[in-house]
Chain A
Amino acid sequence: MSWSRFFRRRRADAELREEVDAYLAEETAENIARGATPEEARRRARIKLGNPQSVRETLWRQNSILLLDTLGRDLKYAARTLRRTPGFTTIAMLVMALCIGAATSLFTVVRSVLLRPLPFRDPGRVVMLYEHFRDARSNQEGFNYNVVSPADFFDWRAQTHGFEDMAAWRYWQFNLSGERGELPELLHAGGGSWNLFPLLGVPAVVGRTFAENEDRPDGNAVMLTWNLFERRFGGNPSIVGRQIHLDGKPYTVVGVLPKWFTYPDAEIEVWVPYASSLPPELLQHHDFHFSHVVARLRPDVSLANAVSQVEAVQYRLHLQYLNAPVAEDVAPRTINDDLARDVKKPLLILMCAAACMLLIGCLNVANLLVARGAARQREMAIRGALGAQRLTLIRAQIMESLLICVAGGVGGVLLSLAATQWLASAWKDLPSAERIHVDGVVLGFACALVFLAALLAGLLPAISSTGKAVFAALQASSRTASGNLSRAALRKTLLTVEIAVTVVLLIGAGLLLKSFARLRSTDAGCVTDNVLTLNYSLPAQKYGVPEKMNGFNESLLEKLRAMPGVRAVALGSTLPGEGYGGDDVFTIKEHPPLKPGAVLPDALTRWADPGYFSALQIPLLKGRFFTGDDRLGQARKVIISNRLARQYFSDENPVGKSIRVPAYNAEFEIVGIVGDTLWWVGERVMPTMYFPILDGGIHTGQALAVRTDSDALAMSIPVQKQIAALDPELPVSNVQTMQQAIGDSLGNARFSATLVLSFAVLSLVLASVGLYGVLSYLMTQRTTELGVRMALGAQRDQVLWMMLWDGLRPAIIGLALGSAASAGIAQLILFMLYDTKPLDPAVYIAVTCTLLTVAILACMIPAWRASRLDPMQALRAE
């Protein structure tokens, strides 16, 4: 028995036949030589040879691989059966292709984002370390991992031994000047400690990575990412060793990073050493949190042990700076989880939704196969009676579902190739989106899905159609064989499960949609129509003197306000809905001092020009806005948000009181209270402090909002021209309308709601097809019975109701089960819901109505047809 023989059986057989013929000729000749007549000689030769057919068969079997042979036969039969019903086959394959495609796509994303290790040296030992505060807010979702302050990082690195090394990096941005007349542009940058790249095991492809002595505040080394190297410098390696100007200051290019290196995201285009471009005194602070710490665990130390060493250091620091925001604990997490941050849970939920849809698809195909099983009952019974083993019959039937699933799987994988591309580009928050691609593991997963689905969809019908009851079909009076009834019961059970899962998906989608609608209609707390926003950043090199900075800002505001079509202009540090922006702890001077160790109140920090609030239509509740006089020496003023006033001043009048901010080592007089704005749509409103932007401080990154008469985007070019007129070297970024900016924060909610909704709608279609199928099947099964009933006087509408009720029962049971399950499952997506209760009655009622309507429609056709039966014909049938 061998593979080559197996595939050359036909040739071997032909050869054998020739060989046997030769033998016969030889033997005949010999017999003739002995004196027999030719007739007799041939007869004797044949007798001697025996049955040549059996020789051939023996050899054929000897050359066959038994399992493969029967498998091949089963496949052939299955393919023929499927070809006989092209409609059913196409639908089943499409259903499986959609379901497998969706599941595969999501798995591709899950694998790339959550499972596949980043391409660093020994990535299993790389962890991220964060500070962790013990107060209630820090223990909420999303706040458990606080970025680290530089002095903490230096102490951790110097005083602990559990990690081979620790590195830190921070987000930054620079204006890149055009060296040879190119346009200036704003670059996202990373500031990484000199040991970051060696720690991660990332070499420079051209030049080298940073040296230890370059990692200092006045350092001027810079590394380019591959993207910038190619895009801006034409991929010319001679750039290494040359100078480029960032924020007007010369930096020397020391190296270029590899193309695959897009950590922490692809937006970062240049890297400078951690300490460079920071004021030296900032590195001494324990309460300026802005660093991400990457640590490589020593192979002989456990993570818990290493972290506990760092925690000991951190707790000591906390005790040392009791009244500053220095965290008590340290929180580690893997580098994959760190990048996946906010998408991990939604991703898993979507994966579950896709799995549900796959389950529904399988149930649906199973249901259709059960119906087909009915038609083949006699065949099964005869084969069983002739001695076919049950396992053989089951195997033969599973082949059909296997074929459907394999074809569906191939289609699904092709589909998922396209769908994954779309997912990666449509899902804004997905980290390392450029690493998302189909690989061997994903294909393996798809194969596993195919076989699982084939088993799931094929096993139930196969078992049900080969049971003992089937032999009843051989009996003459098989018109109402018990097998049919049990099969109908099986189909109804499958249908009930299908509908229950559909209901869960529908309710999940409903909740997410409602939450999205709520998000979209949230009031940001300011005007959002016809507002153009953009960012620019005045480089300290050029605008390091307060008068210069104020001069630029004020003349820009003046020019813009004078433009026709412009109603108002606001200049600040971070506009509403644009993000966190930064926060600081404060104390209230007039209040009794807090006890040592108490958590200091914390508020978002914003800078605003005098026209800011009126331009954005943020209402003044008390006191006054800033004026042009709140500048430089006279700028120790603060405007607080309503939330801050209510939270920390309860019933006293805050105006006239003073806030002390330890980080600036200064006191600020409260001059006004303004309405609350959202810092991110979907996040809770936070207390906010506004300081005058003309205070002479070095503000990196200004946000400009221009409110226009009509279409805001049409003003973008004129506004940019005004900026270029003041400083042609100043790049602007994020030019968009405020609604677009806020829309960004809605992207994820819209995305997951749409995706789950499409899964749910598809499931609903599948379920209704299933309902229709089952009822039509039942009707044909019961034709005779219905005929008898009608002949005996049953009214048509009675029959209609009876059939309708028969079909609706599984729908109603499924609905009840699904709603009950959803009540539990909705708790799991609680974190994705905004202002929507997991038991939202409107959603449940809407889903119930939708499902019932669809179910009634699906059942109505077969039920109506049943009620139109001609009793005489029904009785004569069969």
Chain B
Amino acid sequence: MANKDKTDGEMLKGTLDMMILRTLVTGDAHGHTIAKVIERSSEDVLEVEQGSLYPALHRLEDRGWVSSYWGTSENNRKAKFYRLTSAGRKQLVRETSRWRQMIRAIGLVMGEEATAKGGTR
């Protein structure tokens, strides 16, 4: 059980980072907004665990892909905002293209695999 969680988390890591970066393209946002935007735009399929969101944000900041500052949220509350840096923008472009390749490759594999499996069932 623990193992499964771990691998899930790891799988999510790369994509979560990418999605966070993508979310920030439209403008600076704080953690709550980022999570909400991801959930909304995935039609609530993806649920962002806060336990991975904040470590991910800090990691991105560590690598210089986002920067942060304290500001006021739309509801007039103090919140930490994240902004995409130019390095982060480049990283997003790189990751997006890698992601597309990956989706295509997996699609190719799964297309055949799915039919084979379907056949046996």
Residues 51-68 of chain B, each 1 if its beta carbon lies under 8 Å from chain A, else 0: 110110011001000000
Which of the candidate stretches B14-22, B73-81, B90-98, B108-116 sits at the interface with the other chain?
B73-81
Verify B79–A26 contact, CB threshold 8 A. Answer: yes
State whether the Cβ of B86 lies closer than 8 Å to any Cβ in chain A.
no
Chain B residues contacting A48 (CB-CB under 8 Å) are: 50
Chain A residues contacting B59 (CB-CB under 8 Å) are: 62
Chain B residues contacting A49 (CB-CB under 8 Å) are: 50
Chain A residues contacting B55 (CB-CB under 8 Å) are: 55, 58-59, 62
Chain A residues contacting B52 (CB-CB under 8 Å) are: 58
Chain B residues contacting A22 (CB-CB under 8 Å) are: 30-32, 73, 77-80
Known: A19-B31, A27-B32. A50 touches B54 (CB 8 A): no
For the complex, what is the distance from the CA of A18 to the CA of B32, rounded to whole Å?
A: 13
How far apart are B74's CB and chain A's nearest CB, in angstroms? 9
Chain A residues contacting B50 (CB-CB under 8 Å) are: 20, 23, 48-50, 55
Determine which of B54, B78, B79 lies in contact with A55 in the assembled complex, contact meaning CB atoms within 8 Å: B54
Chain B residues contacting A29 (CB-CB under 8 Å) are: 75, 77
How far apart are B39's CB and chain A's nearest CB, in angstroms? 10
Known: A5-B62, A62-B59. A25 touches B77 (CB 8 A): yes
State whether the Cβ of B49 lies closer than 8 Å to any Cβ in chain A.
yes
**Would you call the interface of chain A mostly helix, strand, loop, or mixed?**
helix
Within 8 A of A (CB), among B3-30: 30
How far apart are A9's CB and chain B's nearest CB, in angstroms? 11
Verify A26–B49 contact, CB threshold 8 A. Answer: no
For the complex, what is the distance from the CA of A26 to the CA of B54, rounded to whole Å?
A: 15
Known: A16-B54, A48-B50, A49-B50. A26 touches B75 (CB 8 A): yes
Verify A12–B58 contact, CB threshold 8 A. Answer: yes
For the complex, what is the distance from the CA of A19 to the CA of B59, rounded to whole Å?
A: 15
Verify A19–B62 contact, CB threshold 8 A. Answer: no
Chain B residue at minimal CB-CB distance from A15:
B80
Chain A residues contacting B73 (CB-CB under 8 Å) are: 22, 26
Known: A22-B32, A22-B73, A29-B75. A51 touches B80 (CB 8 A): no
State whether the Cβ of A665 lies closer than 8 Å to any Cβ in chain B.
no
Verify A26–B32 contact, CB threshold 8 A. Answer: yes
State whether the Cβ of A238 lies closer than 8 Å to any Cβ in chain B.
no
How far apart are B51's CB and chain A's nearest CB, in angstroms? 5
Verify B54–A19 contact, CB threshold 8 A. Answer: yes
Verify B32–A55 contact, CB threshold 8 A. Answer: no
**Would you call the interface of chain B mostly helix, strand, loop, or mixed?**
helix
Residues 3-39 of chain A, each 1 if its beta carbon lies under 8 Å from chain B, else 0: 0010000001001101110110111010000000000
Chain B residue at minimal CB-CB distance from A19:
B80
Verify A50–B62 contact, CB threshold 8 A. Answer: no
State whether the Cβ of A647 lies closer than 8 Å to any Cβ in chain B.
no
Verify A54–B32 contact, CB threshold 8 A. Answer: no
Verify A23–B51 contact, CB threshold 8 A. Answer: no
For the complex, what is the distance from the CA of A16 to the CA of B52, rounded to whole Å?
A: 13
Chain B residues contacting A650 (CB-CB under 8 Å) are: none
For the complex, what is the distance from the CA of A27 to the CA of B55, rounded to whole Å?
A: 19
Verify B31–A50 contact, CB threshold 8 A. Answer: no
Number of interface residues of B (CB under 8 A): 18
Verify B54–A20 contact, CB threshold 8 A. Answer: yes
Query: Which among B54, B62, B80 has the greatest number of chain A C-beta atoms within 10 A?
Result: B54
Chain A residue at minimal CB-CB distance from B32:
A26
Chain A residues contacting B62 (CB-CB under 8 Å) are: 1-2, 5
For the complex, what is the distance from the CA of A12 to the CA of B54, rounded to whole Å?
A: 11
Residues 808-841 of chain A, each 1 if its beta carbon lies under 8 Å from chain B, else 0: 0000000000000000000000000000000000
Verify B77–A58 contact, CB threshold 8 A. Answer: no
Chain A residues contacting B78 (CB-CB under 8 Å) are: 18, 22
Determine which of B51, B77, B80 lies in contact with A50 in the assembled complex, contact meaning CB atoms within 8 Å: B51
Chain B residue at minimal CB-CB distance from A26:
B32
For the complex, what is the distance from the CA of A54 to the CA of B5, rounded to whole Å?
A: 15
How far apart are A186's CB and chain B's nearest CB, in angstroms? 74
How far apart are B64's CB and chain A's nearest CB, in angstroms? 11
How far apart are B81's CB and chain A's nearest CB, in angstroms? 10
Chain A residues contacting B75 (CB-CB under 8 Å) are: 26, 29
For the complex, what is the distance from the CA of A190 to the CA of B31, rounded to whole Å?
A: 83
How far apart are A23's CB and chain B's nearest CB, in angstroms? 5
How far apart are A697's CB and chain B's nearest CB, in angstroms? 89
For the complex, what is the distance from the CA of A54 to the CA of B59, rounded to whole Å?
A: 16
Residues 82-102 of chain B, each 1 if its beta carbon lies under 8 Å from chain A, else 0: 000000000000000000000
Chain B residues contacting A20 (CB-CB under 8 Å) are: 50, 54
How far apart are B113's CB and chain A's nearest CB, in angstroms? 35
For the complex, what is the distance from the CA of A48 to the CA of B78, rounded to whole Å?
A: 20
Residues 229-273 of chain A, each 1 if its beta carbon lies under 8 Å from chain B, else 0: 000000000000000000000000000000000000000000000
Verify A59–B54 contact, CB threshold 8 A. Answer: yes
For the complex, what is the distance from the CA of A384 to the CA of B72, rounded to whole Å?
A: 51
Known: A22-B78, A23-B32, A26-B75. A50 touches B49 (CB 8 A): yes
For the complex, what is the distance from the CA of A62 to the CA of B63, rounded to whole Å?
A: 13
Chain A residues contacting B31 (CB-CB under 8 Å) are: 19, 22-23
Chain A residues contacting B32 (CB-CB under 8 Å) are: 22-23, 26-27
Please report B residues at the A interface, Cβ cutoff 8 Å.
30-32, 49-52, 54-55, 58-59, 62, 73, 75, 77-80
Please report A residues at the B interface, Cβ cutoff 8 Å.
1-2, 5, 12, 15-16, 18-20, 22-23, 25-27, 29, 48-51, 54-55, 58-59, 62-63
- 17 residue pairs A–B, Cβ–Cβ below 8 Å: A2-B62, A15-B80, A20-B54, A22-B30, A22-B31, A22-B80, A23-B31, A23-B32, A25-B77, A26-B79, A27-B32, A29-B75, A29-B77, A48-B50, A49-B50, A51-B51, A55-B51
Known pairs A23-B31, A25-B77. 4 more at Cβ < 8 A?
A26-B32, A49-B50, A50-B51, A55-B51
